[in-house]
Structure 1
Amino acid sequence: MYLINYIYFKGKWEIPFDPKETKENKFHVDDNTTVLVQMMYEENDFHVFHDEEISTHVLQLHYNESVSMMLVLPEKGLEGLEEVVCKNHLRKWIRSVKKRKYMVHVPKVSLKTSYQLKDILSGMGITDIFEDTADLSEISEDGKLVVSKVIHKATLDVDEAGATAAAATGIEIMLDSIIFTPVLKFNHPFMVFVLNRETRSILFMGKIVNPAEK
């Protein structure tokens, strides 16, 4: 028997991106790989924060009063960020984001992932359900029922209207020479969190390494 966990979430941006402004642009996967992606653009008042401690820029896009997507763009590479980021950083970012005018570029994303969790659960000591002696009588009258696989599936789709989640590359921060509006461009790997701001719980998390991959 397979146990399948599938996460689904759908939301519309509080500040949508204008589809007319979406243009093909470069995304730097690594020092040697550049791909062309559909890059969304919007100039508006966004919730942003620069975490100087770990050299990271944070953009929080709201869906509604309690749920938002947090895009986390490191200046020094994604691996370094993954090694240090923790729930304390999320709490700090939620507390620290401030609303100000920015020119924001975010790639359209459509990702699907699937993970086998049997080894992970076994490593956590959850082994009974995989053995012949497992008692699964509450979900089936078949006394021989045993779990053989546990699969977690998640998808993330981000476009101009919102997001559907079902579970030489410098940071481009600069000032426009005329109107002095900062630019935040997500053109290299970054992390994504969908979270409830009230409970500070993570509903979905992942990383965008190559948005051109489906």
Structure 2
Amino acid sequence: MKKLSLKWIVVCCGLLFTTTASAQLGNLLKNVLGGNKGTETQQTETEEKGNVLGSIFQNLIGTAKVENSSLKGDWTYESPAVVFESSNLLKKAGGSLMTNTAEKTLQKYLAKIGFEEGKVDISFDGDSTYTMTIGSRNSTGTYTVQDNEITLKRKGLLSRPVTANLALKGNEMQITFKADKLLDFLTNITTMTGNSTLNMIGNIASGYDGMQLGFQFKKK
């Protein structure tokens, strides 16, 4: 129990940077750590009001195989994506309530580096090359797809390949990373090593044990 409490204290520190996140987190912690039953009702109401990814990807990490050819085309950024690595943790952590809180917090910092709806595009050639545009900045690189994972490597001597979970459903695509990999990816594509906003995103991501954070795109 002490170990679980300590993990959620780390999460709390990351989310307290916004007033909304703080208020929602308080209710969430009561539920996860054994709060009253009223919280369960509030959680259900929150989920029903609309979760960004729930109706599409069920807030769980993608496990279905994705074909490389399915990625071909242009995709535009819609919102952050937050997924759990197991259904047990999804239920235990409060499901959609937790993801909604995390998405709002993550988006606050992603916006500072240009990740806003409709302002970030990624194009795949269906073979091995991608191009990503963030505002007026472009980066190109190579990618490989294997089962439900995608590995991206920006062109450049110092860039390193980064592997992420990949989920595809209709014209929606979700790419999510483990905490350290998300920071590696953002550092590579923005070339902002040491940027305070990136460091904050890394700190937030590292507080979500058993979860992955990333992006949801929609095909143009």
TM bucket, shorter chain: under 0.3
- TM-score, normalised to structure 1's length? 0.24
Question: Which is richer in helix?
Answer: 2
Question: Which is richer in strand?
Answer: 1
Bigger RCO (CA 8 Å, 6+ sep): 1
Instruction: Name which one, 1 or 2, has greater alpha-carbon Rg.
Output: 1
- TM-score, normalised to structure 2's length? 0.23
